[in-house]
């Protein structure tokens, strides 16, 4: 019996009892108040079920607006003063209770034996993008099995994230075709050209992967998969940073954060300069045992970063502004400069990608409402407008009297009019 | 994807069924039109609770969006329905549904 289960049982009991009291109460105002209690219990359940936005909507709209409207009408009609009377059909209440009990038993049995709890979350398709991080290699086209994922990818360029089916793929990299009109490019798979590099990649559902096209020391290309987690972050002010070492050889490097106030003062020793090691020990791509990519969580803000190997400063980056709820990717890669044979170092920073919103949060619901569910949203707004207009028209008093107009009146209408002119002294009650 | 909860989804669905049954009872037994309306709202809430429970189980935010639209449509329905009840009361001076059978002629 965990605390969560105990709270659930208490709130469920309150909900059921308030619904029962609502049903048997003679006073309509009391019934409405019991129903408000029931709605508040349901709103609490929404909070337990990772639906905070719906919980607040339930309190605001259902308990706060709809029940207030009920109260207005109950007061207007004087329904709370309605008296008790003999039911017209005495078999109605026992019959209804019997039928609903049978239904409840059937529902209970089918829910318990239907194994609804075994249903697992639907896995989302894996997302993948490619980055060209190999110096000296020309612009490339990337194919996954037979599908073109990126065309004319130059050095430092990434593709966008694309969703593909989960499974094993052959990732093929071909030299980019340089036709001005992309549709005139021959299909390299069909024409049988040899790819520059082929690697098999396995893509699992619910993952997001960045594949780097990097090279070894002797200019052979290969593909490096870096998992980039786009899941929701716990806090609104943090972001994820993945640092990748794409150098083909050398000792492990680290990414450190420098304190701009202290870094360039000559009177401080290196230990006093307030450096923080963000990511330590990223091995070269060919070294086994030491991973080349690591992900950390940072707070938002401005960062002065540097790549360092041991005590040797490899390069210092310009000040980066890191925005919250994004995923940044920093790659330390070699770069070929025209006219030189040995590569120099460069740091590739990809455009930060926004991480996903938390489940059931207002941001996620807002995103869905304004993208995939925009049409139902607008239609429901129109429906509310029509309902407002209809309510006004239905309760309008007939002000205009048609004077001296003889209308043909049917006997039924005459009978109703006679009954209306003599309203019954008693009003009926439940 | 929300973290797994210690409360299985069956509990929420059974609670939803119980509340729904009570709403059905209210619609069948009560004679005051406003009470019938309130029982209909109870039934709608029960269905919403089941929807949100399954949305969490499957990690699908679409279930919560359906509930959002159900709440909105229920609000529109209550507005029009209560306006109808007020109009009926003005002409018939009663809202006992056993008396409101004039349409049968």
Q: Is residue B28 part of a domain?
A: yes
Query: Is the pLDDT score of A418 beyond 90?
Result: no
Q: How far apart are the first and last CA of chain A?
A: 42
pLDDT averaged over chain A? 84
Q: Give the distance from residue B74's alpha carbon to the nearest chain A alpha carbon, in angstroms.
A: 9
Q: Output the domain CATH number for residue B48.
A: 1.10.287.3510
Residue with tokens 């049903």: A23
Neighbouring C-beta atoms of residue A355, cutoff 10 Å: 20
Question: Span A121-227: which CATH code?
Answer: 2.60.40.1120
pLDDT at A428 over 60: no
Question: Length of chain A, please?
Answer: 430
- Is it true that A3-83 and A233-349 share their CATH fold? no
B82-102 tens-digit pLDDT = 999 998 888 888 888 877 777
Three-state SS at B39: helix
- Report yes or no: A304 and A260 within 8 Å, Cβ to Cβ: yes
**Mean pLDDT value of segment A106-127:** 84
- Using the Cα atoms of residue B81, residue B85, residue B91 and residue B97 in order, give the sign of their dihedral: positive
CB–CB contact A19 B35 (8 Å): no
- What are the chain B neighbours of A122 within 8 Å (beta carbons)? 58-60
Task: Give the closest of A19, A62, A364 to B61, CB-based.
Answer: A364
The fraction of chain A above a pLDDT of 70, given in percent, is 91
The domain of B38 spans: 9-100
Structure tokens at A365: 């619901």
Strand partners, B73: none
Question: Which whole number is the average pLDDT over A381-403?
Answer: 85
User: How much is the average pLDDT of A384-411?
Assistant: 78
* pLDDT at residue B10 is higher than 50: yes
The CATH number of the structural domain formed by A233-349 is 2.60.40.1120
> pTM of the full predicted structure?
0.80
Mean pLDDT for A49-73 is: 94
Query: Does residue B4 fall inside a structural domain?
Result: no
Look at residue B71 and tell me if it is in a domain: yes
**pLDDT confidence of A425, banded at 50, 70, 90?**
very low
Residue A263 vs residues A167, A254, A272, A336: alpha-carbon distances, Å: 48, 17, 9, 29
Mean pLDDT over A353-359 rounds to: 87
What ipTM was predicted for this assembly?
Answer: 0.94
- pLDDT above 50: residue A353: yes
Q: Is residue B2 part of a domain?
A: no
Task: Look at residues A61, A3, A359 and name the one whose alpha carbon lies nearest to residue B52.
Answer: A359
Q: What is the mean pLDDT of chain B?
A: 89
In chain A, the residue whose alpha carbon lies closest to the alpha carbon of B89 is A77
From B79, B91, B105, residue closest to A391, measured CB to CB = B79
Name the residue with tokens 């995939």. A372
What percentage of chain B exceeds 90 in pLDDT? 59
**Cα B67 to Cα B44: distance, rounded to the nearest angstrom:** 10
Domain A3-83: give its CATH code.
Answer: 1.20.120.1200
pLDDT confidence bin for A430, thresholds 50/70/90: very low
Are the C-beta atoms of A22 and B42 separated by less than 8 Å? yes
Per-residue pLDDT, A184: 67
Domain count, chain B: 1
B3 located within any domain: no
* Per-domain boundaries in chain A: 3-83, 121-227, 233-349, 358-395
Write b or e for each residue in B28-53: b if 16 or more Cβ atoms lie within 10 A of its Cβ, otherwise e. Answer: bbbbbbbbbbbbbbbbbbbbbbbbbb
* Least confident span in A150-154, A205-209, A365-369: A150-154
């Amino acid at each position: 019996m965990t605390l969560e289960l105990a709270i659930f049982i208490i709130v469920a009991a309150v909900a059921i009892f308030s619904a029962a009291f609502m049903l048997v109460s003679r006073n309509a105002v009391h019934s409405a108040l019991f129903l408000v209690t029931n709605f508040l219990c349901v709103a609490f359940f929404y909070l337990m079920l990772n639906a905070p936005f719906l919980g607040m909507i339930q309190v605001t709209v259902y308990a706060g607006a709809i029940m207030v409207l009920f109260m207005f009408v109950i007061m207007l009609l004087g329904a709370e003063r309605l008296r008790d009377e003999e039911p017209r059909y005495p078999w109605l209440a026992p019959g209804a209770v019997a039928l609903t009990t049978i239904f409840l038993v059937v529902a209970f049995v089918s829910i318990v034996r239907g194994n609804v709890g075994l249903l697992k979350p639907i896995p989302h398709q894996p997302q993948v993008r490619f980055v060209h991080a190999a110096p000296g290699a020309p612009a490339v086209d990337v194919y996954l099995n037979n599908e073109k994922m990126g065309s004319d990818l130059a050095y430092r360029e990434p593709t966008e994230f694309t969703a593909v089916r989960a499974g094993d793929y052959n990732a093929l990299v071909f030299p980019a075709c340089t036709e001005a009109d992309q549709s005139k490019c021959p299909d390299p798979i069909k024409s049988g050209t040899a790819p520059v590099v082929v690697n098999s990649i396995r893509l699992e559902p619910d993952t997001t992967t960045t594949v780097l096209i990097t090279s070894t020391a002797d200019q052979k290309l290969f593909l490096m998969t870096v998992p980039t987690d786009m899941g929701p972050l716990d806090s609104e002010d943090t972001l994820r940073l993945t640092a990748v070492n794409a150098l083909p050889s050398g000792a492990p490097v680290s990414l450190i954060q420098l304190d701009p106030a202290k870094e360039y003062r000559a009177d401080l020793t290196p230990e006093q300069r307030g450096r923080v090691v963000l990511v330590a020990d990223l091995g070269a791509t060919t070294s086994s045992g030491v991973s080349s990519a690591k992900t950390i969580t940072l707070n938002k803000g401005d960062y002065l970063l540097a790549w360092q190997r041991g005590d040797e400063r490899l390069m210092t980056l310009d000040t980066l502004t890191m925005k919250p709820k994004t995923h940044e990717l920093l790659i330390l890669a070699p770069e070929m400069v025209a006219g030189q044979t040995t590569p120099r170092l460069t740091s590739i920073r990809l455009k930060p990608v926004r991480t996903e919103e938390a489940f059931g949060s207002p941001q996620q619901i807002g995103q869905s409402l304004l993208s995939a569910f925009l049409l139902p949203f607008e239609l429901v707004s129109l429906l509310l407008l029509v309902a407002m207009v209809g309510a006004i028209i239905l309760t309008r008093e007939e002000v205009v009297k048609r004077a001296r107009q003889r209308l043909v009146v049917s006997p039924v209408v005459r009978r109703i009019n006679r009954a209306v002119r003599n309203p019954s002294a008693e009003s009926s009650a439940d | 994807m929300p973290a797994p909860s210690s409360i299985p989804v069956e509990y929420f669905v059974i609670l939803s069924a119980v509340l729904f049954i009570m709403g059905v009872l209210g619609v069948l037994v009560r004679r005051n039109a406003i009470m019938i309306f309130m029982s209909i709202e109870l039934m709608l809430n029960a269905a919403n609770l089941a929807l949100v429970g399954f949305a969490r189980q499957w990690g699908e935010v679409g279930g919560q969006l359906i509930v959002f639209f159900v709440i909105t449509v229920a609000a529109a329905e209550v507005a029009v329905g209560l306006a109808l009840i007020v109009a009926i009361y003005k002409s018939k001076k009663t809202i006992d549904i056993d008396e409101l059978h004039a349409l049968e002629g």
